[in-house]
Structure 1
Amino acid sequence: MSSPLTPRLALLLTLPPLLWAGNAVVGRALVGSVPPIALNAMRWWLALVLLLPLGWRVLRDTRQIASRWKHFALLGLLGVGSYNALQYLAVQTSTALNVTLIAASSPVWMLLVGLLFFGERPTPRQLLGAVLSLAGVLLVISRGSLAALREVRLVPGDLFMLLAVLLWAGYSWMLARPPAHLRGQERPAWNWAEFLFVQMLFGSAWATLAAAVEAPLTPVAIAWTPAVCAALLYVAVGPSLIAYRAWGLGVATVGPAVATFFSNLTPVFAALLSAALLGEAPRWFHAAAFALIAAGIVVSSFGVRAACRA
């Protein structure tokens, strides 16, 4: 059962969107310098090494992992292995602001995945909020020409990001609704770092496999400049360790239906960071799209508050 939203939890759930916005901006800045799938693999292996001092104890009894490998393999694929790889692919042909605005459609996919796979029926307000958020995403995809929406041609980055958001919805629900062998007395006595370490082990394996496929297809030599090294360190620490810890704790406490609306803050931070660091100033349809997305948050939050009071 979800807990009421407190100021502390609100702050906790605001941190990941800020770090993820920076991740999209950094990914955009590294286009042409680092292959996108290789960037994802290096990011997670570095994060795994940094987490090792806190999570290594989980390796003392590998039977606990082996008996749950199917669950963690899927969890690692959806979260660590896929989402960020697809985002780095997305910013190859789309802007950081565009991909984060498309990611703001997550309430739609979160509600859909919850209904289809977890039996969670959305409230009317949640549905209305999701529709408003989706309208904002369509406005971005159409580049502000609603009359031409039927003829719109998505750039590959837009499609990659839509797929990433769908997979992230599945990941979030798996965190909030774990199987029986990860609940109650059946759950291993792992702390947060050990649980995340197991996720990252499986996710890094997926990321490495994808990078091995990418290498012969897009042979790009990595330019190891100080800026590239600093960017890699940032994506390994901020959007990986800190953001995943905060998001996992927030989702487990308030539930994915509430947490997902905080992810809609990502475009706000992305717009500010893109304008400041990349010179990609927002256009009028970005502002209109954000207004629709914000309206979706407001509408849905009434239903969330009512549910928490109940």
Structure 2
Amino acid sequence: MSHRLTPRVALLLTIPPILRAGNAIVGRMVHEMVPPILLNFLRWAIALVLLLPLAGPVFGAGSSLWPHWRRYAVLGLLGIGMYNALQYLALQSSTPINVTLVASGMPVWMMLTGWLFFGAGVSRRQVTGAVLSIAGVLLVLARGEFAHLMELRLVAGDIFMILATIAWSLYSWLLIRTSGPSDIRGHWANFLVAQVGFGAVWSGLFAAGEWALSPATVHWSWTLIAALLYVAIGPAIIAFRCWGAGVQAAGPAIGAFFVNLTPLFTALLSSLFLGEAPQLYHGLAFMLIVGGIIVSSRR
């Protein structure tokens, strides 16, 4: 199958980074209005309600999903229940710029996960790219001063985001190894609903645990309602659909470069909405991370 990057495909691949950058901004804006794990549950519960009319029969009694329910339950746990919850937890103590920059090291974690758990080979070029990308992540964690690493001055949000990227790496490898019935895999809404349904259950369980351990009130307002609708419709549904169509047309290798536009858009949106101007080390870290991915992706 030939892959081409046309203007239309480039637009499809650019929309998800913009929406995901907005997800980080919104998560930071409402972090005092709603507990992070509950925010994740509400997000995916709304997304599930909106998606069910498009793929309701997936959960029917005779659906072909049920013989394969375990693999979709694991996908829902890693990609929806864990990754997004950890990201919102990260935004409690870290800035959206830092969170998305740390997440930009995700291709490196994917390489390591594939090598350690799925028998994927690693080339010298990939190792070189990994070193560059890890250097970029360390620059963010050190807040521009590598002496901070020796002092272990990591905020909790940075650690949560690293855990989130590891969860997403496992999710991504399992995703391409998941076959399942063709009526589920072959239709984007069916495939997404199968994961979101189980993911919403996991998120609900985690939110119940959060509520039991540290009861917190939700400060309902029109701002919070608008934020919930945005994170449910934009980053959850629209971004997934655009990304799937764009990667099918251009291929995952080209699509990987667009992932790392997220920190750039996050920096711009943070400056506009949160007054958190990007620092010089953010730009240097972004260049290192993208440079590492370019090196590791070249054939």
- Give CA deviations for 1:17-63 in whole Å, capped at 9, x if unaligned: 11111101100001110110000000000000111111112233544
Task: Provide structure 1 residue ranges, at least 5 long, that are not aligned to the other structure.
Answer: none
Query: 1:113 and 2:113 equivalent?
Result: yes
Q: Normalised by the size of structure 2, how large is the TM-score?
A: 0.92
Alignment of 1:246-265 (within 5 A): 246-250=242-246, 259-265=255-261
Matched residues in 2 for 1:169 and 1:251: separation?
17
Taking structure 1 as reference, are residues 139 and 214 closer, same or farther at Cα in structure 2, changes over 3 Å only? same
8 Å contact 1:176–1:256 — kept in the other structure? no
- Distance across 2 between alignment mates of 1:50 and 1:121: 40
Count of aligned pairs? 297
Mean Cα deviation higher: 284-293 or 126-135: 126-135
Q: TM-score, normalised by structure 1?
A: 0.89
The 5-angstrom pairing of residues 1-310 of structure 1 reads 4-7=3-6, 8-179=8-179, 182=180, 186-188=181-183, 191-250=187-246, 259-301=255-297, 303=298, 306=299
Q: Residue 20 of structure 2 aligns to which amino acid in structure 1?
A: W
The amino acid of 1:70's aligned partner reads: R
Measured in 2, the distance between the counterparts of 1:117 and 1:75 equals 16
Kindly indicate whether the alpha-carbon contact (under 8 Å) linking 2:21 and 2:265 is maintained by their aligned counterparts in 1: yes
The Cα offsets for residues 141-187 of structure 1, whole Å up to 9 and x where unpaired, read as: 001112342223211111100000011112122222324xx2xxx53
What RMSD, in angstroms, separates the aligned Cα atoms of the two structures? Answer: 2.1
Tell me, in whole angstroms, the C-alpha distance in 2 between the residues paired with 1:147 and 1:80.
35
Which moved further from structure 2: 165-174 or 72-81? 165-174
Q: Report how far residue 298 of structure 1 moved.
A: 3.2
Counterpart Cα distance in 2 of 1:173 and 1:257: 15
Q: Percent of aligned pairs with the same residue?
A: 54
Please give the per-residue CA displacement for 1:108-143, whole angstroms capped at 9, x wherever unaligned.
111112223333323333332222111111001001
- Supply the distance in 1 between the matched residues of 2:258 and 2:294 (Cα, whole angstroms): 11
**1:151 & 1:145 partners in 2: Cα distance?**
11
- Distance, in Å, in 2 between the alignment partners of 1:172 and 1:153 is 30
Residues 258, 177 of structure 1: alpha-carbon distance in 2 compared, 3 angstrom cutoff: farther
1:121 aligns to what SS in structure 2?
coil
Say if 1:111 and 1:257, in contact at 8 Å, map to a contact too: no
Change (3 A) 1:232 1:215: same
Change (3 A) 1:240 1:260: same
Cα separation, partners in 2 of 1:246 and 1:120, compared to 1, 3 Å: farther
C-alpha contact (below 8 Å) 1:176/1:252 kept by paired residues: no
| One-letter amino acid of the structure 2 residue matched with residue 279 of structure 1 | G
Question: Does the 8 A contact of 2:22 with 2:269 survive in 1?
Answer: yes
